[in-house]
Amino acid sequence: MAKKNKVILIIDDDPDMRSYLRKLLEGMGHEVHEAGNSRTGIKIIDEVTPHLILLDINLDDESGFNVIGKIRQLDPFQRMKILMISSLSSKKAIDLSKKLGTDGFLIKPINNQTLSTTMKKMLPELNFPVAKNIDKEFSNLMGKFHGQIVKISETSVILQSKVKFFEKRKLQIDSIFLNRNDLNKTQLIIQEASKDVSTGTYNTKIQLIGLTDNNLKQIRKLNTKKA
């Protein structure tokens, strides 16, 4: 059975419409994000990867039809579903929407029953593919990402980044801060899942293993300076 709570983005320049749709969708148990223009919408898509995008055709900054192409550049395999919303009910607009590969069309005003029925129909499709039984040869991957150390203690550091970790693992961090304070030779191990700070930003507590007495003195000096 498909998991109920999905990540949904509403891109509409009407704040009242966004608020109305948010209230309905959150009432169904979904996580909802809002954007008042295409630029903000694309930024949020890049950060949170929504399962479903409710996209208004007549945005202030550009046509929703143009935005479809930008979304597909970010998601060429069309994992994210797009539901067009508009006060336009012309056959031409609906046909163009289908031609561009959207997954549905809702005509404003949208009532609770219409949205609820549409969501129930789409829910089984709102799933991202999950890889299972991965060959061991390909299961250990290396990736690079940018982050910032926002806190340090005698046992751990807090790393703030766009990456969310869910399980225990070792990390390698190339940091001027760690190198300058002679902390680059310690083992860095994530012991618990990352915590949400804001949309698309996470704090990860990383345990410092193998600190020397000199390392501990240096950390105490750093914290004394901050105080």
Residue-wise pLDDT tens digits, 153-184: 888 999 999 888 887 888 888 888 888 888 87
Asked if the model's pLDDT at residue 2 lies above 70, the reply is no
Cα–Cα dist 107/87, whole Å:
5
Residue 3 confidence (pLDDT) = 47
**12 burial class (0-12, 13-18, 19+ CB within 10 angstroms)?**
buried
Rounded to 5 degrees, φ, ψ at 52 are: -140, 140
Residue 132 confidence (pLDDT) = 59
pLDDT digits (tens, 9 = 90+) for 96-116: 998 998 999 999 999 999 999
> For the chain, what are the domain ranges?
7-125, 145-226
Q: With cut-offs at 50, 70 and 90, classify the pLDDT of residue 21.
A: very high
pLDDT digits (tens, 9 = 90+) for 74-83: 888 888 999 9
Cα–Cα dist 91/97, whole Å:
10
Residue 204 confidence (pLDDT) = 94
Residue 133 confidence (pLDDT) = 59
Provide the CATH number for the domain formed by 7-125 in this structure: 3.40.50.2300
In the numeric block, the tokens 């203690």 are attached to 153
Asked if the model's pLDDT at residue 87 lies above 50, the reply is yes
